[in-house]
Structure 1
């Protein structure tokens, strides 16, 4: 029987669903036409019917004799005859003829099947949904009961044209005994595809009821889980908690999501950080003895590993064995990988040893692959156990016949481990060994060794190694050159850094923005602004644009070279391209202008900073205060300090207090400096050794010993240790004053202010 079906998901093609797919097309146990029925009678009847005008059928003895006198003609054969008419209109005429001539006892069943054929022909002719619905209404008006196949045909058709309300109407008008599992599955599929989840789940709830006459089956589960999984990236009408409950209700009926859907579901929960829900789903299925596979467990193990929840990882691994879920190499690899990433290499090694010792302990034995060996070697190297990692290569060699051969990744992990520990010679030895064993070094090998040498101050060795291996055909990449450029920048050898930058271009390696920014930053810090500007030009030619950090380095570099015009030029360029200066930009300019004594310009920049919506920071105020103090304008510095203190957003820090206390003491305003010390105590700003040293100098000038003793006690109380400057000041002063005993007590950590001066 040819039927119009909606496109089915790929899962329906799996072998275990093939019987269900057949039932999805036609109702199981439905008395549809059998191949054994007499084709001769059907052919004869059709020939006569097609050759006779419709209005003469009733008066034709031959037609009546063929159709109504034979005892072999059944409702199924009336169906076969009706569906072979060339059009739905003639088929409908034949139905009307049957309705007028069939005996009462055969009327209902035969007419039902004949009308089913009319529906099929109408759909095949692509009749409009409205016309088809009129045909359905006519069927209902004549009290012709729908067959199950007619119902599913209509439900699916109306769903296909997004007229799900018609699908619901057909379903709701069916007799209760016809709303079986098959019909409900079709309706749920239609509703979910039309995103009408509420109606779909109303039908599903009836099926999930424990007393349901038509419960869910495996196909119901596939339809529902497929629909929910395909909506992973859109808003779902079912919450995660409800989804867990749904899996549980299906499980009560012995229906479980297949391995693919279950793995996707667990992965989905874990991506959202809902490992508890993933855990619940898996354990619900374990409770009902669902046929689980390692892939689903592996997804959860991976998530638990990311969270460092090794307690539940161990529990799940144990439960896998209890539930006869055979761990795969991925299972062990997941556990080992997560342990290694959390620097728990010893535990990873224990898991590995259990993995390979299964045969001897009657446990499940899984043969490790190259990936597991490489993961473990890398993990051991990261915790400084390079020698143990090296020993694993011997185990790999014992498994050469099983395809477990050390590869470039294996050696790169080992070389990286030895280089990071400073054992460059061992790294080079491994480099030569891998070539002897037929493993070709790659650019990662080159970069690892070059980086290791550079990090341990062996830049010349790195250059020699680079030149040697590249002559032999090993190609470098942008990362290699970046390592060398950065290394030369770090030792302020910018001439070599620029040379390598040029070599990089000649070698055809496209520099990324990191290379440019590294070079620009180093040149700016070294004050080589012409070279920095040249690199900026090359950066723009390469299609990159300086970021805010790069511009700030340029502004800072020009300010240090007292090239204010250039700094303003960079600032204007930033504004022209729509890049808003940040607090660092303005603080750099304010600091330079203030130190230069150009306070009016510094204040203008400060006003612009506020106008741009940036809140001045403690660094901003500190720059101004320091500059005023350095230029002898302590009173102006105190005005800014009071402005800062009154601000609710910014609080002065120890550095600012130290600047003011030192300047006040030098300006013979010791009492005011002492008041700032008290203010620090109230505001819980901790003084440091520099604070006390500045005060000791000021107090000595005023010979205020009592105050000095109290400050010495406060130093001891706050465990603020005196430095050589503190001891130099106090030793000279207290020796002159005959208070060497108090100095001894102070050094020993005892209070000194209680004794009389």
Structure 2
């Protein structure tokens, strides 16, 4: 037998591939035979040209187009295959070589198979190659690719690809419009989505209800409710019923703009269209009522939806409990909380925190701690919950309790936030414990947290309040070195601190530097400056600051007027003080407690007790009517002292009794005022009772109080009692001063 030796195997393969191509071409009009032939050549490695040629033959025929799709799907699922871009190049080359007619069908199938094989990036390259060769796949298949890109968040690539299409005036269809608009919305570019919608409208594209729904969503994202409502009307005029989601978007947008009446109208329109109200709409409307300050209507609406069978969710309860707590209706907030738990809805840390704030605000400490302990026990309490209680304790001056709570939080494995550290620092600064405050700062740095402007500003304020100018400014320098930009709060704190310390010339220099850095002084800034001059007794320097403030268009407020009135009182310029008071009233400002206190103090110093009593009565009536709480201790002290000095002892004692009935506990200053007044009036027995009352309230009497009592008994000739009081003073560990010995020698209290 004669053996044929193949001297060049690669040439044999080439001849074999040519044979396959020629045979396939002979079956151009018989695609089923072409497919059969291709499948029969198993074991023979077929070239990419053969594969692409077969696709060209199969795709146009209705009988074999599905076979073409199957071949592509299987091919692209293989690990080793040519990239789709290469397939396009080969298909284009074959068209030229064999004069094949270009059919976008085969390219559409290729694009679709790429997406199905999860080769989206290859599909993008493939489509770009098609565009380079002026091949335009069918729009539905392009939309499949664009949708896949949107799902994979390939937003930038999607826009680039779409721009390439638009350059070639390929605008796609309405579904293309949907995809591109959704892409713009996903990246927060609602205006771009609206613009694209307008362009499609101008091109005469036939839009559908979905396109209107998306552009309405875009308008709502920008809270352009007028545009959203206009588009909603257009949609309805075209005979389309907006979906629940569309109505929900517009209603929520109206609520955000506080247009609750329009939101309610749309809610009724939605329900009348046969679309039931959902809990998102209901919760949004409830929040809308609350934001407008109408919590009563919010609660009424809540009960209506519950009665109608709508089940509230966590967000609904969170909104209502939060607002009820905020306005002080803590009883209703707690009832809602209990109702929520009965419904099997697990409270969130936000709900717990809101309710906790409400309890603490109303001083319902037992309820507050019970709620907090439950939240800790059930694992709901997080760092925010702990921060609420820490903040309240620090504001109340209970820093030691706050420190104990801090330890418990750490033991529970809850990591403190920067806010937590700032709260503790504020507590120490308010107590004047600056070493502890600095220790907190060290802990912040050790834990790798970055202190913020609030952290540094609190430290600066703490040192200023301690009168420590140097350390306050050192902290400011550290803040700048750490590249923490000072805020207006920081600048105002420094200006206020300098004014409080009477360093007015340094304040001026600092103010100029801050202004050069872009700081714009506010009423708070000028109030600090005016008050600084007033405290120095320099009303004539305070007035130019007031004038400058007004010239810059910064409106004076109650604090401004109160400082100026106080300044006029100090300089004994009563007429100007009263003139400033009238100006304040004419501008519609109501006196606050500080203003009343300044006026009462001024009139008391002038021994004008009639006007002092008049303003005190006004203050008392105002506070009881609006807040149902009594006046504060300093105001009572000022007025009692005034009546004592005016010789109206009975008025003073009646006022003291009234104060006690309000639950206000006297302090050392008031006790000193009372004992001094009683001794001056010769009521030594009543003075002795006050001393005994001090012991009952665990307030230690001072040398001054004993000096006053000893002098009073000397005047009455009660020498034995005077020396007994001297011995009692020594027993208490008090060291007599020069005044004590003057009294014992001369029987008079000097000064």
Q: What TM-score do you get using the length of structure 1 for normalisation?
A: 0.48
Structure of greater relative contact order (alpha carbons < 8 Å, 6+ residues apart): 1
Q: What TM-score do you get using the length of structure 2 for normalisation?
A: 0.48
